[in-house]
Amino acid sequence: MNKVVLGAVVFLAILLLFLGAIFLIAGGLDNTGTGGVLVLLGAGLLYYVYRHDKIEAAKPTLVSQTFNVKMDGSGTMTERQLKCKSCGAPILDKDLKVIQGGVMMTCPYCGAMSALEEAPRW
């Protein structure tokens, strides 16, 4: 349902609640039934709008997005020599171990262990 129509229904419901309250307060015993009916109609309309919004919110929403990715760089890779952080000795492939998802380096000269960390490229 359109938001304007729902707004009009809410306005009508509040108006009916207000008029029903006036009939109940000022009408005496003769208009108690009319005031009660107006209050019930207003409450019913508010409940309808509440349920409509709740049902609309529960419906899945399809979201589509487009990404434009620009890849910069020369496309060449350079080999880098790994060195021990303690003594500066070269680290070979046989000195690398994968432990719990991280790469650990063990220096064959001084025995120091350290994690291999990749520096950010920004």
Q: Within 13 Å, how many C-alpha atoms sit on residue 95's CB side?
A: 20
CA 25 to chain centre: 47
**Please, which residues bridge with residue 96 across strands?**
105
CA atoms of 96 and 38, how far apart (whole Å): 80
Domain boundaries defined on the chain = 3-58, 84-122
Summarize pLDDT for 65-83 with one digit per residue, the tens: 888 877 776 666 677 788 8
Quote the CA–CA distance of 16 and 24 in Å, as a whole number.
12
For a pLDDT cut of 70, what percent of the chain falls above it? 89
List, for residues 24-74, the tens digit of each pLDDT value: 888 777 778 888 999 999 999 999 999 998 888 888 888 888 888 777 766
Per-residue confidence (pLDDT) for residue 45, from 0 to 100? 94
Helices assigned H by DSSP within 1-122 = 3-26, 32-58
pTM beyond 0.75: the answer is: no
The first and second tokens of residue 70, run together, are: 């620009």
